[in-house]
């Protein structure tokens, strides 16, 4: 009896907490569950050991107007390679990361059921993205909505003008937070802090520990569904 209770307890708490630390969001191209993907392409390769993206998605992430979203990076003239590599990395991070659980939210959108909100990005990753793009041009602040899609790919909407990056995004913070409608949150945490998510990394994925930290830091977690099981089981065990 004791063994069974202990087993059930371990199973329930394991499933409830592990899920959020190793899961894929319900979006357009994500796998149902994370797992090894030995053939992930170039910039997406760091996620090979455990990924929510397929090899096909990782290859497409490197292409202009790819079949993923038909998204046109060059809507105000050709985007430089120096800048574009950050958008490729952002795509790899979004499509491949299995550790975004704490920031996944349900959404009512035609193209996905879940999104990420306020993922705390490491300062270096946000600042280098902005630094490498700041001499580019764009016509919109929020790249998630408001485009003219009539041609099949996104174009600047009527009445908008191509402006310098600095006019649209005066700071690295404004770019990282506004470009994907608050998917990311700017932080002053650095990569060694363990308190921010890294878009760029090599070696074992450092973001699982970060997700774990934020998951445990959430106050509502102190009384999770797990606790509803823990209390009666503890009681039963004490009775023995």
Ligand X SMILES: *[C@@H]1O[C@H](CO)[C@@H](O)[C@H](O)[C@H]1NC(C)=O
Q: Which residues sit at the interface with ligand X, rule CB under 6 A? A: 56, 59-60, 67
Complex with ligand X: residue 65 or 160, whichever CB lies closer: 65
**In angstroms, what is the minimal distance from the CB of 55 to ligand X?**
8
Angle, to 10 degrees, between the axis of helix 225-239 and the axis of helix 2-21?
160
Q: How many CA atoms, within 13 angstroms, populate the side-chain half-sphere of residue 10?
A: 6
Check if the beta carbon of residue 89 is closer than 8 Å to that of residue 126: no
Nearer to ligand X by C-beta: 111 or 235? 111
Helix (H, G, I), strand (E, B) or coil at 57: helix
Cα–Cα distance measured from residue 156 to residue 143, given in angstroms and rounded to the nearest whole number: 10
Looking only at Cα atoms, what is the longest distance across the chain? 75
Q: Considering the complex, what minimum distance in angstroms separates the CB of residue 151 from ligand X? A: 19
Min dist CB 68 to ligand X, Å, is 9
For the CB of residue 47, give the shortest distance to ligand X in the complex, in Å: 17
Q: Which two tokens stand for residue 62?
A: 């490197």
Q: How many angstroms separate the CA atoms of 115 and 89, rounded?
A: 17
Cβ closest to ligand X, residue 58 vs residue 72: 58
Least spacing, CB of residue 30 vs ligand X, in Å? 14
Toward ligand X, which CB reaches closer, 52 or 122?
52
Q: SS3 helix, strand, coil % of the chain, rounded to 5?
A: 45, 10, 45
DSSP state of 182: T
Q: Which is nearer to ligand X, 92 or 197 (CB)?
A: 92
């Amino acid at each position: 009896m004791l063994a069974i209770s202990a087993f059930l307890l371990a199973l329930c708490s394991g499933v409830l907490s592990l899920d959020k630390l190793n899961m894929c969001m319900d979006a357009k191209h994500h796998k149902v569950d994370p797992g090894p993907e030995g053939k992930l392409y170039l910039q997406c390769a760091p996620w090979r050991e455990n990924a929510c993206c397929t090899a096909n998605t990782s290859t497409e992430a490197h292409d202009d107007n790819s079949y993923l979203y038909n998204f046109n990076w060059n809507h105000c003239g050709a985007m430089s390679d120096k800048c574009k590599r950050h958008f490729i990395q952002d795509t790899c991070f979004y499509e491949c990361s299995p550790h975004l659980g704490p920031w996944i939210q349900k959404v009512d959108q035609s193209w996905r059921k879940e999104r990420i909100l306020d993922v705390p990005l490491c300062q270096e990753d946000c600042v280098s993205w902005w630094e490498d793009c700041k001499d580019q041009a764009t016509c919109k602040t929020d790249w998630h909505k408001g485009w003219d899609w009539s041609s099949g790919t996104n174009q600047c909407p009527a009445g908008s003008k191509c402006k310098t990056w600095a006019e649209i995004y005066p700071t690295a913070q404004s770019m990282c937070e506004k470009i994907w409608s608050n998917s990311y949150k700017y932080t002053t945490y650095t990569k060694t802090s363990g308190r921010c998510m890294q878009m760029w990394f090599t070696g074992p994925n450092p973001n699982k520990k970060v997700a774990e930290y934020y998951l445990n830091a959430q106050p509502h977690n102190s009384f999770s569904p797990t606790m509803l099981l823990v209390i009666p089981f503890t009681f039963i065990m004490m009775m023995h």
